[in-house]
Amino acid sequence: MWGVDPALLDDEEKLRSVLLKAAEVAGGKIIGVLFHKFEPQGVTGVVAIAESHISIHTWPEHGYAAIDIFTCGSHVDPWRAFEYSMKELKPKNVNVFEIKRGVMAGEGEEF
C-alpha cells in the first residue's frame, strides 16, 4: 500500500494496535506478538494467530507498507482483517493479491 501517512508508518504502538484489532475482527486467536522499531525509521511486526499470522513491514520514507494476512481454516475471514487495516491506515493506493495455499491439485481442498 502506498500513500500512507509516514508518521503512522513509524508509530510502532499504533501499528501494533491495528494488527491486533485486525486479527480480532477476522476471528483469529492471538497466540503471539512481536514488533520491532527500526532507526531511523520503519517498523516490522507480526501477530501470530492459531490460524497463521498477520504481518506488516513499513517504509515511512516512501509512505509504503506491506501487509500479509495468512489464514487457514474456515472460521477466520482474512478480508475482514484487510478491510479493518485499510480503514485505519488510509492508503491512497493498494495492490491486493490473494493466494490460495494448500489447495490440493484436482481436489479443491484448502487447509
- Residues marked active site are found at 52, 57, 72
Residue 86: name the closest of 70, 67, 72, 99 by CA: 67
Residue 4 in 3-state DSSP?
Answer: coil
Locate 52 and state its grid cell. 497463521
Beta-bridged to residue 64, according to DSSP, are 59
Locate 88 and state its grid cell. 485505519
Largest CA distance in the chain: 49
